[in-house]
Structure 1
Amino acid sequence: MAIALSTLVEEAQRYLNAERISDYCPNGLQVEGRPQVRRIVSGVTASQALLDAALEAEADVLLVHHGYFWKGENPCVTGMKQRRLKTLLLNDISLLAYHLPLDVHPEVGNNVQLAHRLGITIEGPLEPENPRTVGLVGSLSEPVSPRDFALRVQEVLGREPLLVEGPQMIRRIGWCTGGGQGYIDQAIVAGVDLYLTGEASEQTFHSARENGISFIAAGHHATERYGVQALGDYLARRFAIEHLFIDCANPI
């Protein structure tokens, strides 16, 4: 079965409420390909490796979290950007990308999906008074040690996380997938025992240690694999088309 590309994009925009979210890049259809869609291939980042894999998988649409045309980047279509766009355009593959709309969505969002996998019960946003908050706060059913929770993260994500071990057991957790290390200050105010994100900055260590909490950096790519899969599955069910997630490994 095939559906119109315009129908697929319209539903994704509606479901994610994408047009109401201010972002650092355009959300939605970034590159237009063939007008009919039978197969979606999803992945985290529209790298050349993922483009090549999508081409081999005979994708009509490539659905990603990290697309193109970021604010402040060089707009010239040269080098890496030229090669990527050429792959899409020559092969009539559409690129559909959602950044912040895919982080904050209450069902298929990266933060919600990661919580489900780690056994965290969601309590609410990291900053309840801030409508632009990306991160969440929640709790575990039983307290665990920082090392035991880090082991859980490793088992779920398939990579060893960076752990800054605090003094107390872990019950209340704040988290923001990807490059959310800057939210550690809000997490401290929220009274968490541990803050989890994808990346770490030099000062993150000191913030965690001096405020007596644990910190985990589990990988930008690793923490953001699940939202795009969930969105692809939703669209595939909605329109009875095929969906294939391809994970191009990234250690960061």
Structure 2
Amino acid sequence: MPALTDLVRAANEWLQIDAIPDYPGALNGLQLENSGEVTKIAAAVDACLPVIVEACASGANLLVVHHGLFWQGAQRIEGALYRKLKLAMDHDLAIYSAHLPLDRHPDLGNNALLVAALGFEGEGRPFAPWKGFDLGQRVSCDLDRDELLARVAAATGGAPKLAPGGPSRVRELGVITGGAGSQVGELAATGIDTFLTGEGPHWSYTAAEELGINLIYAGHYATETFGVKALAQRWAAEFAGLEVSFIDHPTGL
């Protein structure tokens, strides 16, 4: 029966948890420990109350998420945060969170896995440098824009939204999962003709038109289910006796 400390140590090493910067307030790595052993891992995008309820009901003793419990530094343990922590602790559920370290990982990351799901496995190049590492991946291709949209829909399970400011033939595709739409201006300057992300602000639509770039929104949630699944499966492959499940709690955003 694997020890929680061994799983945490392995994931911290794989993801370079201590080396990869993140947004202020983000807390990557183990956020809540349990009594020490793990037999069942639940993976989910968000450490929200419905997910924690389902994880506890499933008998999981480790929940791995992309969006964790803590984003604002020190805060009062009250309200929803109290209910989530109490429920998890009552059911001996540990919680591990990986945000940008998981997004950018070349094998387990949301960006790399979405690029692979679009049919470009192994073709992604580093894209969008930020604080010494790359937020996303870039792909050179020759693909009809409608075909790309169909692939995005198949990969994410939903209909993407398009701001058709660029060419109908996609040749330089940039991908950043999550909510990177506000970066459309700086990313257009890199020479891509199409930018795929999860969501962004209203003004990004007209900005894309004016910049001459295709902007595709495939959903913040939908573009970030890949990494937590892959991390859970990696644990199961490395440590015998682990059961893995995915808790799907889509936001539609």
Q: Which residue of 2 aligns with 1:192?
A: 192
Q: What is the alpha-carbon distance in structure 1 between the residues aligned to residue 66 and residue 110 of structure 2?
A: 9
Partner of 1:36, secondary structure, is coil
Q: Which residue of 1 aligns with 2:40?
A: 39
Quote the offset at 1:133 in angstroms: 2.8
Aligned counterparts, 1:218-233, within 5 A: 218-233=218-233
Give the letter aligned to residue 244 of structure 2: H
Q: Deviations over 1:117-173 (max 9, x none)?
A: 012363422246962331221123x3212x332222112211111111134111210
Quote the offset at 1:76 in angstroms: 1.1
Q: What is the alpha-carbon distance in structure 2 between the residues aligned to residue 13 and residue 206 of structure 1?
A: 40
Asked if structure 2 preserves the Cα contact closer than 8 Å seen for 1:34 and 1:60, the reply is no
Closer, same or farther: CA 94–109 of 1 in aligned 2, 3 Å: same
> Taking every aligned residue pair, what percent have the same amino acid on both sides?
36
Give the letter aligned to residue 41 of structure 2: I
Quote the offset at 1:116 in angstroms: 0.4
Partner of 1:52, secondary structure, is helix
Closer, same or farther: CA 49–190 of 1 in aligned 2, 3 Å: same
Aligned counterparts, 1:134-153, within 5 A: 134-140=135-141, 142-145=142-145, 147-153=146-152
Partner of 1:88, secondary structure, is helix
Asked if structure 2 preserves the Cα contact closer than 8 Å seen for 1:167 and 1:213, the reply is yes
Q: Which residue of 1 aligns with 2:17?
A: 18
Give the letter aligned to residue 124 of structure 1: R
Q: Which residue of 2 aligns with 1:27?
A: 28
Q: Count matched residues.
A: 248
Asked if structure 2 preserves the Cα contact closer than 8 Å seen for 1:48 and 1:84, the reply is yes
Q: Which residue of 2 aligns with 1:234?
A: 234
Asked if structure 1 preserves the Cα contact closer than 8 Å seen for 2:22 and 2:100, the reply is yes
Closer, same or farther: CA 11–67 of 1 in aligned 2, 3 Å: same
Give the letter aligned to residue 107 of structure 1: D
Asked if structure 2 preserves the Cα contact closer than 8 Å seen for 1:198 and 1:223, the reply is yes
Partner of 2:159, secondary structure, is coil
Q: What is the alpha-carbon distance in structure 2 between the residues aligned to residue 46 and residue 23 of structure 1?
A: 18
Unaligned 5+ runs, structure 1: none
Q: Deviations over 1:189-242 (max 9, x none)?
A: 121121010112122112210111111111000000001101110011100211
Q: What is the alpha-carbon distance in structure 1 between the residues aligned to residue 124 and residue 228 of structure 2?
A: 23
Q: Deviations over 1:52-101 (max 9, x none)?
A: 111121101001010011136x7111111111111111111000111111
Aligned counterparts, 1:98-247, within 5 A: 98-120=98-120, 122-127=123-128, 131-140=132-141, 142-145=142-145, 147-168=146-167, 169-240=169-240, 241-247=242-248
Q: Deviations over 1:5-57 (max 9, x none)?
A: 11110011011111112223111110111211111110100111111111121
Q: What is the alpha-carbon distance in structure 2 between the residues aligned to residue 107 and residue 154 of structure 1?
A: 22
Asked if structure 1 preserves the Cα contact closer than 8 Å seen for 2:61 and 2:91, the reply is no
Q: CA RMSD in A?
A: 1.7
Asked if structure 1 preserves the Cα contact closer than 8 Å seen for 2:45 and 2:67, the reply is yes
Q: Which residue of 2 aligns with 1:7?
A: 6
Give the letter aligned to residue 51 of structure 1: I
Aligned counterparts, 1:60-79, within 5 A: 60-71=61-72, 75-79=75-79
Asked if structure 1 preserves the Cα contact closer than 8 Å seen for 2:12 and 2:18, the reply is yes
Unaligned 5+ runs, structure 2: none
Calculate the TM-score normalised by the size of structure 2: 0.92
Q: What is the alpha-carbon distance in structure 1 between the residues aligned to residue 189 and residue 35 of structure 2?
A: 49
Give the letter aligned to residue 155 of structure 1: A
